[in-house]
Amino acid sequence: MTTYDAGEVTLEKVREYVWEIPREGGMRVPARVLASEKLLDEISDDKTLEQLKNSAHLPGVRKHALCMPDGHQGYGFPVGGVAGIDAEDGCISPGAVGYDINCLSGDTEVQLSHGRRIPIADLATRFEGEQAMVAGETITRSPIQLFTASGEQPVYEIETTTGRRIEATADHPFRTPDGMCPLNELEAGDEIAVRPFRGLEDEDPHGRTILTEADFADQHPQLVRALSQRGLLPLTTADESFHRLLKLVGFFTGDGSFGGEGQTWFYGDPTDLEQIRADVREIGFTPSKVYSRERSHDIEGKTFERTEYSFKTTSKALRLLLRKLGAPVGKKIESGFTTPWYFEHLTNWQKALYYSAYFGAEMSAPAAQHEKTLYCPKVSQNRTMETADAGRAFLRDLTTFLEDIGIETNAVEAFETDSNANRDVVRLRVGVKNNSVNLVRFFSTVGYRYNRSKQRKSAIAIQYLKTKGREIARREAIATEARTMADGGISIGEIKSAFEINERFIERSIWSGRSGRPRPGSEFPSFEEFRASCEVAEDMTIREGIVSIEPLGRKPVYDIGVEHEAHNFLANGFVVSNCGVRMLTTPLEYDDVRGHEEELVNRLFEAVPSGLGGGGVFEGTVEDVEAILERGMDWALEHGFATEADLEHCEDEGYRPEADAGVVSEKAKNRGKTQVGSLGSGNHFLEVQRVTDVYREDVAREFGLEAEQIVVLIHCGSRGLGHQVCTDYLRKIEQTHGDLLAELPDRELAAAPAGSQLADEYYRAMCAAINFAWTNRQLIMDRTRDVLTDVFDVRRDDLELLYDVAHNIAKKEVHTVDGEDRELYVHRKGATRAFPAGRPELPPAYADVGQPVIIPGSMGAGSYVLRGGERSMAETFGSTAHGAGRLMSRTQAKQEFWGEDVRDDLRERQQVYVKAQSGATVAEEAPGVYKDVDEVIRVSDALGIGERVARTFPVCNIKG
Q: Is 297 annotated as a binding residue?
A: no
Residue 827 catalytic?
no
Rounded Cα gap, residues 560 and 172, in angstroms: 12
User: What is the residue-wise DSSP string for 757-816?
Assistant: HHHHHHHHHHHHHHHHHHHHHHHHHHHHHHHHHHHSS--GGGSEEEEEEE-SEEEEEEEE
Q: Is 127 annotated as a binding residue?
A: no
Tell me which residue of 180, 921, 167, 240 sits closest to 551, measured CA to CA.
167
Strands (E), 169-249: 173-176, 179-182, 191-194, 200-201, 209-211, 235-236
Q: Is 247 annotated as a binding residue?
A: no
Tell me which residue of 29, 86, 90, 94 sits closest to 823, measured CA to CA.
86
Distance of CA 171 to the CA centre of its chain: 15
Q: Is 959 annotated as a binding residue?
A: yes
Q: Is 807 annotated as a binding residue?
A: yes
Q: Is 857 annotated as a binding residue?
A: yes
Q: Is 151 annotated as a binding residue?
A: no
Cα-flanking dihedrals φ and ψ of residue 163, to 5°? 90, 5
Tell me which residue of 780, 688, 775, 771 sits closest to 725, measured CA to CA.
771
Rounded Cα gap, residues 292 and 305, in angstroms: 13
Strands (E), 161-250: 165-168, 173-176, 179-182, 191-194, 200-201, 209-211, 235-236
Look at residue 562 and give its three-state secondary structure.
strand
Q: Is 684 annotated as a binding residue?
A: yes
Look at residue 292 and give its three-state secondary structure.
strand
H or E element, residue 474: helix 452-487
Q: Is 856 annotated as a binding residue?
A: yes
Q: What is the CA radius of gyration of the chain?
A: 33
Rounded Cα gap, residues 771 and 806, in angstroms: 10
- Contact in structure between 108 and 165 (CB atoms under 8 Å): no
On the CB side of 813, CA atoms within 13 Å amount to 25
- Backbone region of residue 591 per phi and psi (left: phi > 0; alpha: psi in -120 to 50; beta: other values): alpha
Buried b (16+ CB within 10 A) or exposed e, 755-793: ebebbbbbbbbbbbbbbbbbbbbbbbbbbbbbbbeeeee
Tell me which residue of 260, 239, 258 sits closest to 249, measured CA to CA.
258
Catalytic one among 114, 172, 567, 882? Answer: 882
Tell me which residue of 731, 742, 804 sits closest to 770, measured CA to CA.
804
Kindly report the CA angle at 713 between 914 and 145, in degrees rounded to 5? 75
Q: Is 687 annotated as a binding residue?
A: yes
- Total residues found in the chain within this entry: 960
On the CB side of 507, CA atoms within 13 Å amount to 4
Q: Is 869 annotated as a binding residue?
A: no
Q: Is 485 annotated as a binding residue?
A: no
Q: Is 683 annotated as a binding residue?
A: yes
Q: Is 723 annotated as a binding residue?
A: no
Tell me which residue of 877, 857, 864, 851 sits closest to 650, measured CA to CA.
851
Distance of CA 131 to the CA centre of its chain: 12
Q: Is 172 annotated as a binding residue?
A: no
Strands (E), 122-186: 131-135, 139-160, 165-168, 173-176, 179-182
Number of Cβ within a 10 Å radius of residue 748: 24
Rounded Cα gap, residues 956 and 687, in angstroms: 6
Look at residue 606 and give its three-state secondary structure.
helix
Q: Is 466 annotated as a binding residue?
A: no
Q: Is 686 annotated as a binding residue?
A: yes
- Contact in structure between 306 and 197 (CB atoms under 8 Å): no
* Sequence-distant (≥ 6) Cβ neighbours of residue 873 within 8 angstroms: 815, 816, 835, 836, 839
Amino acid at 324: K
Q: Is 564 annotated as a binding residue?
A: no
H or E element, residue 937: helix 933-943
Using alpha carbons, list the distances in angstroms from residue 943 to 634, 885, 931, 947.
36, 18, 19, 9
Q: Is 60 annotated as a binding residue?
A: no
Using alpha carbons, list the distances in angstroms from residue 150 to 75, 108, 558, 560, 563.
12, 15, 6, 12, 21
* Annotated binding-site positions for Mn(2+): 100, 684, 715, 807
* Annotated binding-site positions: 100, 683-687, 715, 807-808, 856-859, 863, 882-885, 959
* Annotated binding-site positions for GMP: 683-687, 807-808, 856-859, 863, 882-885, 959
Enzyme catalytic residues? 882
